[in-house]
Amino acid sequence: MKTLYDKIWESHVVAYESEKVALLYVDLHLIHEVTTPQAYDGLMKRGRKIRRTDLTIGTLDHSVPTKDTLIEDEFAAKQVQVFRENCNKFGVKFFDLGTQNQGIVHVFAPEMGLVQPGMIIVCGDSHTSTHGAFGALSFGIGTSEVEQVLATQCIRQIKSKNLLIKVEKRLSNSVTAKDLILFVIGRIGTEGASGYVVEYDGEAIRNLSMEGRMTVCNMSIEAGARAGLISPDEVTFEYLKDRAYSPKGKTWDLALKFWEDLKSDSDKAFDVVLSFDASEIEPQVTWGTTPAMVTAVNGFVPDPSEAKNDLEKSSYERALRYMGLEPMQKITSIKIDRAFIGSCTNSRIEDLRMAAKVVKGYRVNPKVKAMVVPGSQTVKRQAEAEGLARIFVEAGFEWRNPGCSMCIAMNDDRLLPLERCASTSNRNFEGRQGRGGRTHLASPAMVAAAAIAGHFVDVRDWRFR
Amino acid sequence: MEKFIEHRGKTVALFQPNIDTDQILPKQFLKRIEKTGFGDFLFYDWRFDENGNQNKEFVLNQPQFKHASILLAGKNFGSGSSREHAVWALRDYGFRVVIAPSFGEIFYNNCFNVGLLPINLPEKTVEELVRKNEEIQNYELVVSLLKKKVSDDFGLSIDFEIEDFRREKLLNGWDDIDMILRFEKEIRNYEKKRPAWMPKV
Ligand code: SF4
């Protein structure tokens, strides 16, 4: 009995260095400007080449501006320029600013059909877990490992354990993949999946679109998982059909045959199985400084004095101090200054459709500054063609160019100290969106509704216009 | 990479859970293209105020913890972003060892590529070390990777576990690329039988 993870692992072992350490072959290496300069440097210092430029592809996303393509920040400009030069020198294909496929690394690759079931994909970025949505084993690596993969196309790994997260039954209306994964992280904690590769299954997972599945797998890392996986099915194949890099004709049939067999043999193949009931999940909002500090929109900020132990109590107190919240404050009473719709978690076309549906016919609250940053040029074009961009702009949102933007705030898109933001991104860590800034994570629909109301509201009660 | 065999050094404690790599090295310094010089920016938003002045209360700024090289941290240390810059910053600042009940997995991995030794010890044990660090002035530990032991001058001696391949790598200062390239023949064989439908760019 084997899990999907076991199977992908076995099919990629180049050699065992020792009983525990395997050398795995990497099918696709995604790169971006932030975690590569030192890796390229290492290659050059030792006179090494890139083994497979045909399995390596890059983009500019983290430190790029989203207003126009002119980079004012001297360091960012240098980093971007060095990335261009290195890619050109080594013959690596990449998507430059303003070109038609540029976007966040975890958005452009799937939409071009580069992510296919059964592959191993790595990237110097923790949210590489996103690509597990296709049944591809995908994980983040450090810069030294980026250099290793560039030089050898292989990575040394020891095997993780297998965790199955089953989400049974159906999600209620207006409850999304984002709420599902925030809920799960809230239950299992920031270390709940440490040491594991997580596979997600169950009716609620099967009912998700590829966009929703990517949102779920994307946040696996916030529970400490090595990777997240969803076995491929009709939804996956439908999505992949006719994408730029998807197999065509006879090769498609060949691939499909292989993909259809990619699933875990039985629940019994897992070390641990956790089950959740999707019908219990309500729209989620984080109140603290880890994604596990989360509750339902109709809930309350917790009271630290009711924490399980001293350590939890002090970390709750610290979080509330940083977030400027009171114990037992109602979530819906939290007023926001900013709203951010974007990031590799929630900037795909479906996310923008959900948000636009809420926004249509409304205006952004005058006290709120709101922006939408599509995940890629492709998403941007599509949203413009579908009229979503117009809905946002007419409501008072800023409509930006693709990039990581205020998910990480490496460019000018950032919170001022004490500013409070409803955000569709994945990390509410201290200072993540700007020093002293306060982040509440939620779904695109919930963030859109908060932007209009000026505070959090239950999107299930929304009056769509 | 610099070898790690044994190290004696002063301890400092940051004993709170979930210190993520965004705190260890804030994003504004990720635009640098070098591997060095990150020590000045370690825990930047905690060490310095908005105007760049030292925050006197922060433990690394207290004179008695100057030149500490062993960090005692809470669980899930180094979670979050994969940025190896966080490890470069700790190392560049002067840390050689981090002791915590658990680590973010990518961070843990990265440590071994930079020559920083992460040690997993049970929460209770770390707590005890933190207490000693508070009570004893200039508290020092001796960390032996060779013997897989943490000890002090007051009779404490704790064994720790670490996978052999990671230990060997640090003990010898090995470079992964050289190690992988020993398998050149196997890599070439593997490449011959890769499925044809997989994408090439
Ligand atoms: S959008 Fe945010 S989480 Fe995603 S790759 Fe960019 S910085 Fe990382």
Digits of tens for pLDDT over chain A (465 positions)?
999 999 999 999 999 999 999 999 999 999 999 999 999 999 999 999 999 999 999 999 999 999 988 898 999 999 999 999 999 999 999 999 989 999 999 999 999 999 999 999 999 999 999 999 999 999 999 999 999 999 999 999 999 999 999 999 999 999 999 999 999 999 999 999 999 999 999 999 999 999 999 999 999 999 999 999 999 999 999 999 999 999 999 999 999 999 999 999 999 999 999 999 999 999 999 999 999 999 999 999 999 999 999 989 999 999 999 999 999 999 999 999 999 999 999 999 999 999 999 999 999 999 999 999 999 999 999 999 999 999 999 999 999 999 999 999 999 999 999 999 999 999 999 999 999 999 999 999 999 999 999 999 999 999 999
CB-ligand 1 contact for A218 (6 Å cutoff) = no
- In terms of C-beta density within 10 A (0-12 exposed, 13-18 middle, 19 or more buried), how is residue B81 classed? buried
- Phi/psi at A44 (5° precision): -65, -40
Q: Which of A46, A122, A143, A415 to mutate to test the interface with B (most CBs of B within 10 A)?
A: A143
Structural domain including B53 reads 6-174
- How far, CA to CA in Å, does A267 sit from each of A11, A165, A226, A288, A311? 21, 10, 19, 34, 35
Residues of chain A positioned with their CB less than 8 A from the CB of B87: 142
CB-closest option in B45, B82, B186 to A14: B186
Say if A318 is an interface residue toward chain B (CB within 8 Å): yes
Q: Please check whether residue B189 lies inside any domain of the structure.
A: no
Query: What single DSSP character describes residue B152?
Result: -
Cβ–Cβ contact A335 with B under 8 A: no
Ligand 1 lined by A408 (C-beta under 6 Å):
yes
Residue of chain A minimizing CA distance to B110: A142
Question: Is the beta carbon of A66 within 6 A of some atom in ligand 1?
Answer: no
Contact B23 A20 (CB under 8 A): no
* Among candidates A113, A158, A410 on the partner chain, residue whose Cβ is nearest the Cβ of B31: A410
| Residue A107 Cβ contacting ligand 1 at under 6 Å | no
pLDDT tens digits for B44-67?
A: 999 999 999 999 999 999 999 999
Interchain pair A38, B79: CB under 8 A: no
Q: Can you read off the two tokens belonging to residue B181?
A: 């390239």
Atom of ligand 1 nearest to the CA of B81: 8
Q: Give me the sheet containing A227-229, strands edge to edge.
A: A227-229, A196-201, A161-168, A272-277
Shortest distance, CA A459 to any CA of chain B (angstroms):
29
Evaluate if pTM is beyond 0.80: yes
pLDDT tens digits for range B72-117: 999 999 999 999 999 999 999 999 999 999 999 999 999 999 999 9
Is residue A317 within 8 angstroms of chain B, CB to CB?
no
CA distance A115 to A125: 16
> Is residue B193 in some structural domain?
no
In this structure, the residue with its CA closest to atom 4 of ligand 1 is A344
Residue B30: list chain A partners with CB under 8 A.
34, 62-63, 410
Q: What is the pLDDT of residue B2?
A: 85
Structural domains for chain A? 4-273 (3.30.499.10), 284-461 (3.30.499.10)
Reported as a pLDDT band with limits 50, 70 and 90, residue B1 is confident
Domain count for chain B: 1
Q: How many CB pairs under 8 A join A and B?
A: 194
User: Which residue's alpha carbon is nearest to atom 2 within ligand 1?
Assistant: A407
Residue A343, ligand 1, Cβ within 6 A: yes
pLDDT number for residue A368: 98
By CA distance, what is A53's nearest residue in B?
A: B201
Nearest CA to ligand 1 atom 6: A404
Structure confidence at residue A69 (pLDDT): 81
State in Å: Cα A206 to ligand 1 middle.
Answer: 25
CA distance A355 to A215: 15
| Residue B161 lies inside a defined structural domain of this protein | yes
| Domain CATH code at residue B76 | 3.20.19.10
Q: Identify whether B124 is part of a domain.
A: yes
Whole-number Cα distances in Å, A25 to A118, A159, A175, A383: 12, 14, 38, 37
Q: Which of B100, B122, B125 is nearest to B111 (CA)?
A: B100
Across the interface, whether the CB atoms of B87 and A142 are under 8 A apart is answered yes
| Mean pLDDT across B149-170 | 96
**How many other β-carbons are positioned within 10 Å of the β-carbon of residue A269?**
18
- Asked whether the ipTM of the predicted complex exceeds the cut of 0.90, the reply is yes
- The finding on whether A355 has its CB within 6 A of some atom of ligand 1 is no
Check residue A68 and give its pLDDT: 84
Quote the pLDDT of residue A386. Answer: 98
- Centroid of ligand 1 to alpha carbon of A411 (angstroms): 12
Residue with tokens 């999107």: A459
Q: Is residue B148 part of a domain?
A: yes
Cα dist. A233→A118, A253, A259 in Å? 12, 15, 8
The model's pLDDT over A39-95, given as tens digits with 9 standing for 90+, comes to 999 999 999 999 999 999 999 999 999 998 889 899 999 999 999 999 999 999 999
> Is any ligand 1 atom within 6 A of the Cβ of residue A426?
yes
Of A15, A27, A148, the CB nearest to B176: A148
**Contact criterion met (CB below 8 Å) for A410 and B28:** yes
Amino acid A70: pLDDT: 86
Contacts of B180 in chain A (CB under 8 A): 23, 148, 151-152, 154, 156
Tell whether A129 lies on the interface with B, counting CB pairs under 8 A: no
Instruction: Please say whether the beta carbons of A124 and A140 come within 8 A.
Output: yes
Cβ-based contacts of B187 with chain A (< 8 Å): 14, 23, 25, 152-154
Q: List, edge to edge, every strand of the sheet that includes A21-25.
A: A13-16, A21-25, A154-158
Could you tell me if residue B51 is inside a domain? yes
Dist. CA B169–CA B92, nearest whole Å: 20
Q: Do A25 and B110 touch (CB under 8 A)?
A: no
Q: Is residue B194 part of a domain?
A: no
Contact B195 A255 (CB under 8 A): yes
Q: Is residue B155 part of a domain?
A: yes
Contact flag B18-A190 (C-beta cutoff 8 Å)? yes
For B188, name the nearest residue in chain A, comparing CA atoms only: A14
